[in-house]
Amino acid sequence: MASHRKSRPAGTRVAGVRTPALATAALTSVALLSQSANAAPAADGAPSLEEVEKKVDALYRQAESATEKYNAAKERTTKQRKRVDTLLDDVARRTQKLNEAREELGSFAAAQYRTGASAPDTATFLLADSPQDYFDQTQLMSRLTTRQKGAVDDYVTEQSETMKKRREATQGLQSLTETQSDLHAAKATVQRKLSDARAVLSKLNAEERARLAAIEKRKQEEAAAKAAELARQQEAAEKAARQQADTSSPSSSSGSSGSSGSAQSSGSSSSGGSYATKAAKTLAFARAQIGKPYVWGATGPGSYDCSGLTQAAWKAAGVALPRTTYDQVNAGTTVSLADAQPGDLVFFYDDITHVGVYAGNGMMIHAPKPGAYVREESIYYDGESAIHSVVRPA
C-alpha cells in the first residue's frame, strides 16, 4: 500500500483519513486479494477487485491529504481575518485622529484669514501635496506659534502612520483572499475524491462487497493480534525495569547518594504522574466521543476528523495542540513505539495525514475515515508499515 504515498519534508510520519466501511475493505485488502483467485481480472474486461481496491485506496489517501490542507488553509484564514479586522479598526481610529488634526489646522487657517495674517501661507500649506515639504520653509516656520507647530507635527505624523496601516490592511486583505482560494480549492478536491471513491464502490455487486468485508474482518483480526503482541512486549519491559529498580535500591539506601537517588526518583515520578493525569483526561474525552461520525474538517462536538479529535481530546486536559497533523507531529517529544504511553499521539503514513490517541496495549482511539465513526482499534489497523511515529505532547 505504500507505493502511492508521497513523502513529506516533515520530521515524522502519520495515519490517514479514508472512507466508508466498505471502503476500508477495498482499501486494505490488496495483499490478501492478490493471493487468491478472486483477484484475477474479470473476463469481461472489468477491473478486478484488486484494481478496485487500489483505485479506492488512492482516492481516499488523496482525500485525506486534501483534508489536512483544508484544515491548514482554514486555520490561516481565521488568523488572517482577525489580523485584517484589527488593522481596519486601527485605520479607522487613525483616520478619526487625522480628521481631528485637520480640523484643528483648519481653525488656525480660519483665524488667520479673519485677522488677515498669513492667509496665503496657511492656505498654501493646507493645499500642498506634502505638508512636510512646505513645512520645511523657514518663512512659514517663523509665523507659526508653538501650538500651531505642534498641530502640524501631529497632522504629518498621523497622516504617515495612517497611510502605513492602510497599506498593511490592503496587503492583509490580498493574503486573505489568496488563502480563501486555497481553502475552496482544498474543499473541492476532498469532495471530488470522495465522490469518485463512492462511484467506484457503487459498482461492486453484493458478492464482491461480501468478499471485501470478509477480507477486512481478517485484517482486523491480524491487527488485533499484533496489538496484543506489542502489549506483551511492553508489559515485559516494564516488569524488567521494576526488577532492575528493586535490585539496585539496596545499594543506594545509605549516604548522600541514597538521598540524591531518592530525590531524583521523586522528581521523575512527579513528572510522569503529571503526564499520566493529563493523558487520563485526554483518553476519557476521546473515549466519550466513540460512535460519533467522521466528518472531514470537523472539530466537534458532534463530529470529528482525525486531527480535530486529537486536538479536542488534549484540549480537555488543558493542552493546546495545533489544528493539523502536519503541526501536531512537531508539538511534543518523539518516542519509540515500544515506549508509547496512553495519551501519546500515533501518526501514520509518510505524508503525515492521520493521527490517533494511544490507549495502551497496542490500541488507539481515532476518527478513521469518511463514512466511519470514532472507534478504538489496533494501531496496526493499516499494517505496521503505515505507522510513522509516536509523539508525547505536554
Annotated catalytic residues are 306, 354, 366
Q: How many Cα atoms within 13 Å fall on the side-chain side of residue 371?
A: 16
Strands of 330-386 (E only): list them.
333-335, 345-348, 354-360, 363-366, 375-378
**Three-state SS for 285?**
helix
**Three-state SS for 387?**
strand
Contacts of 385 (CB under 8 A, 6+ apart): 1, 2
Contacts of 208 (CB under 8 A, 6+ apart): 49, 52
- What gap in Å lies between CA 75 and CA 202, rounded to an integer? 34
Q: How many Cα atoms within 13 Å fall on the side-chain side of residue 129?
A: 0
Burial 243-268 (b: 16+ CB within 10 A, else e): eeeeeeeeeeeeeeeeeebeeeeeee
Q: Which of the 8 DSSP states describes residue 293?
A: B
Cα torsion 23, 29, 34, 35 to 10°: value is: -140
Query: In angstroms, what CA-CA distances link 59 with 196, 199, 264, 303, 387?
Result: 7, 11, 52, 22, 20
Residue type, 367: A
CA max distance for the chain: 107
Q: Which three cell numbers stand for residue 79?
A: 488568523
